[in-house]
């Protein structure tokens, strides 16, 4: 997550947890008057539309009082879905054995995109298997990680 998203997460997470939800991740996309704040929630059994509406009201209230984002933006609250983005290193451990797509901030082993089976998380590195090859990728190089499918 970006530093801005991390700060917003720290502001919102206590209220989200109090509602019985888990803050899965935050995306803040600044685009002038068309900025977007996406808040992804999860809970045992999944998130439904009523959960999103409840959390959206709570999050909106906090954002109105604290005013951490200047200017106009759209708030979107949703489930991370089946093809969820992984926002934090500890989330990778929940999906060992799944196929993931990793997009890196810079080249690693002469490439920036990896799709393969998530094997392990060791310290601050993600281990992924592609065919017969195993890659150990530093977490700080991962720009975006998404689930593809369960093996």
pLDDT digits (tens, 9 = 90+) for 17-53: 999 999 999 999 888 888 999 999 999 999 999 999 9
Of the chain, the percentage scoring pLDDT greater than 70 comes to 99
- Distance in angstroms (rounded) separating the CA atoms of residues 52 and 80: 11
pLDDT digits (tens, 9 = 90+) for 98-110: 999 999 999 999 9
pLDDT of residue 4: 81
Q: Which residue has the tokens 């989330």?
A: 91
pLDDT band at 82 (very low <50, low <70, confident <90, very high): confident
DSSP per-residue codes, 107-136? EETTEEEEEEEEEEEETTEEEEEETTEEEE
In CATH terms, the superfamily for domain 89-150 is Ribosome maturation factor RimP, C-terminal domain (2.30.30.180)
CATH number belonging to domain 3-78: 3.30.300.70
């Amino acid at each position: 997550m970006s530093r801005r998203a991390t700060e917003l997460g720290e502001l919102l997470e206590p209220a989200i947890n109090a509602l019985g939800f888990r803050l899965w991740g935050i995306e803040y996309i600044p685009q002038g008057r068309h900025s977007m704040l996406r808040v992804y929630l999860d809970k045992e059994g999944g998130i439904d539309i009523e959960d999103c509406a409840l959390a959206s009201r709570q999050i909106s209230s906090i954002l109105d009082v604290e005013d951490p984002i200047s200017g106009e933006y759209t708030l979107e609250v949703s489930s991370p879905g089946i093809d969820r983005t992984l926002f934090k290193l500890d989330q990778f451990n929940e999906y060992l054995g799944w196929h993931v797509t990793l997009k890196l901030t810079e080249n690693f082993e002469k490439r920036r995109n990896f799709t393969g089976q998530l094997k392990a998380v060791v310290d601050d590195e993600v281990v992924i298997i592609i065919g017969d090859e195993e890659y150990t990728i530093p977490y700080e190089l991962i720009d975006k990680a998404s689930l593809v499918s369960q093996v």
